């Protein structure tokens, strides 16, 4: 599914196998991909490994272009090692490559169907845990993907899904990490951090407790080139039955996902993508973005100040908690804009900005200190 319209859309995809009579009902959901890239990164994939939240992975890679592209999937063992690459030529525009790690060349629909063994062989991935990169070298090619982590056959079948990362970042936020939250077999969140570069990475990880924001642990972690590592809260000196907010920083770009696992009965597995810092929306070509900030006379950020432009009667743009604000205005009018700063309806300061302005650009206004 894709939208060729200018109107933004959001997509949530639900997957379930929970009909009456199903021995092990499973259900999961993931968000649609916000965008694509020529290379996208999957921090975790698995083939025939037992354990909650493991099992096997199917990977669906979509060609977002309107014309055919060639694709590759390159798997690297968890913790580093020799890569294994699979190729798919001529994937039609807007269509997908459905890769099932259990079968030769990932093709579960082949006739005859060829099931792979436990060790690597031509066209077959060995059993194990991996990270992967899906890529295309076709000019104009752009990919998006979803990964299904389907539980093993040892009893408690599970399903978890995530979308591979199109824009790795040197900073990642993991807003909900837990260690045995609710009991010894309750929710624990191993995360998988993928180094998306060909050089070894060193990541710094900060663990802060939800209840009081206290920094409980800072650690440095080495991640081999082009590989993922698992970070398990149970393997660290952290308190049980606790939630954490985690920040990861690195000198090289990373991708990450968090697996949320409950080791009791049933489908106790979910996943979410680590979050990169929020990026500003691009400025439309027919607008100029004016942005600035206000402070108190002591230099502290002045929150909830109303900012209006010119003689507009109503003041509706309120500064954020850090004193920042932004306006998008039409640059074709070669006029001066006067920004007025009001507190409780009373103007405390103003400043005037003069043309020329250009569309698609940002003008940063000088910070304004408000008098009492």
Query: Among 224, 239, 273, where does a domain finish?
Result: 273
pLDDT digits (tens, 9 = 90+) for 76-91: 999 999 999 999 999 9
- Average pLDDT (169-192) is 96
| DSSP secondary structure string for all residues of 288-306 | EEEEEEEE-TTSSB--S-E
Whole-angstrom Cα distance, residue 255 to residue 287? 33
| Range of lowest pLDDT (38-42, 52-56, 103-107, 301-305) | 301-305
- Average pLDDT (245-254) is 94
- Average pLDDT (128-145) is 95
6, pLDDT greater than 70: no
In the prediction, which pLDDT does 16 show? 54
- Closest by alpha carbon to 174, among 256, 268, 251, 53? 256
Element (H or E) spanning 126, and its range? none
Instruction: Look over the chain and give the mean of its residue pLDDT values, rounded to a whole number.
Output: 89
| Range of lowest pLDDT (96-100, 195-199, 305-309, 328-332) | 328-332
**In contact, 79 and 229? CB cutoff 8 Å:** yes
Whole-angstrom Cα distance, residue 35 to residue 167? 9
In the prediction, which pLDDT does 320 show? 83
13, pLDDT greater than 80: no
- Closest by alpha carbon to 135, among 95, 87, 192? 87
128-135 vs 201-209, strand pairing mode: unpaired
Domain for residue 1, yes or no? Answer: no
Measured between alpha carbons, how far apart are the two ends of the chain, in Å?
Answer: 54
pLDDT digits (tens, 9 = 90+) for 326-360: 999 888 777 899 999 999 889 999 999 999 888 89
In the prediction, which pLDDT does 44 show? 98
Torsion of CA 66, 67, 68, 71, to 10 degrees: -60
CATH of the domain at 361: 2.60.40.1120
* Residue 36 and residue 132 in one domain: yes
Domain for residue 7, yes or no? Answer: no
Query: Among 273, 302, 323, where does a domain finish?
Result: 273
Which of 99-108, 153-162, 290-299 is predicted most confidently?
99-108
- Average pLDDT (33-60) is 90
* Residue 228 and residue 309 in one domain: no
The edge-to-edge listing of strands for the beta sheet with 346-353 is: 317-318, 306-309, 337-343, 346-353
- Average pLDDT (176-200) is 96
Q: How many domains does the chain have?
A: 2
| Range of lowest pLDDT (17-31, 172-186, 211-225, 258-272) | 17-31
Domain that residue 339 falls in: 288-369
* Residue 308 and residue 261 in one domain: no
Whole-angstrom Cα distance, residue 220 to residue 275? 19
pLDDT class for 155, splitting at 50, 70, 90? very low
**In contact, 187 and 272? CB cutoff 8 Å:** no
In the prediction, which pLDDT does 312 show? 82
- Average pLDDT (270-278) is 91
Whole-angstrom Cα distance, residue 205 to residue 254? 13
39-49 vs 288-295, strand pairing mode: unpaired
* Residue 23 and residue 132 in one domain: yes
User: Which distant-in-sequence residues (6+ apart) come within 8 Å of 257 by Cβ?
Assistant: 43, 44, 162, 191, 192, 271, 272, 273, 274
In the prediction, which pLDDT does 1 show? 53
Query: Among 221, 244, 273, where does a domain finish?
Result: 273
In the prediction, which pLDDT does 2 show? 57
CATH of the domain at 93: 2.60.290.11
pLDDT digits (tens, 9 = 90+) for 180-190: 999 999 999 99
DSSP 277: P
* Residue 329 and residue 203 in one domain: no
* Residue 39 and residue 155 in one domain: yes
| DSSP secondary structure string for all residues of 56-123 | EEEEEEEE-SSS-EEEEEEEEETTS---EEEEEEEEPTT-EEEEETTBGGG-TT-SS--B--SS-BTT
DSSP 152: -
């Amino acid at each position: 599914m894709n939208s060729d319209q200018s109107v933004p859309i959001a997509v949530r995809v639900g997957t379930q196998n929970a009909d009456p009579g199903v021995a092990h009902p499973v259900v999961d959901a993931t968000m649609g991909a916000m965008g694509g890239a020529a290379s996208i990164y999957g921090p975790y994939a698995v083939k025939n490994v037992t354990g909650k939240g493991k099992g096997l992975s199917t990977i669906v890679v979509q060609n977002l272009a309107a014309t055919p592209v060639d694709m590759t999937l390159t798997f690297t063992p968890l913790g580093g090692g020799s890569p294994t690459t699979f190729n798919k030529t001529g994937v039609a525009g807007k269509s997908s490559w459905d890769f099932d790690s259990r079968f030769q060349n990932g093709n579960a629909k082949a006739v005859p169907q060829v099931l792979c063994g436990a060790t690597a062989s031509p066209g077959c991935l060995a059993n194990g845990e991996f990270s992967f990169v899906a890529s295309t070298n076709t000019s104009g090619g752009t990919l998006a993907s979803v990964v299904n982590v389907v539980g093993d056959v040892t009893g408690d079948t599970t399903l978890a899904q995530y979308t591979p990362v199109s824009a790795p970042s040197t900073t990642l936020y993991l807003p909900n990490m837990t260690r045995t939250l609710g009991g010894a077999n309750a929710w624990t969140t191993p995360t998988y951090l993928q180094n998306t570069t060909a050089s070894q990475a060193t990541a710094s990880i900060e663990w802060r407790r939800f209840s009081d924001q206290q920094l409980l642990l800072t650690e440095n972690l080495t991640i081999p080139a082009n590989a993922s590592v698992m970070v398990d809260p149970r393997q660290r000196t952290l308190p049980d039955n606790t939630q954490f907010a985690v920040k990861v920083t690195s000198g090289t770009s990373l991708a990450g996902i968090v697996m949320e696992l409950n080791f009791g009965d049933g489908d106790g597995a979910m996943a979410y993508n680590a979050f990169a810092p929020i990026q500003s929306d691009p400025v439309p070509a027919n607008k100029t973005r004016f942005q600035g900030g206000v402070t108190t006379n002591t230099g502290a950020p002045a929150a909830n100040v109303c900012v209006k432009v010119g003689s507009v009667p109503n003041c509706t743009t309120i500064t954020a908690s850090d004193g920042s604000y932004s306006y998008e205005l039409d640059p074709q009018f070669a006029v001066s804009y006067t920004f007025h700063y009001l507190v409780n309806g009373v103007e405390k300061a103003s400043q005037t900005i003069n043309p020329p302005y250009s569309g698609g650009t940002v003008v940063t206004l000088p910070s304004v200190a408000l008098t009492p």
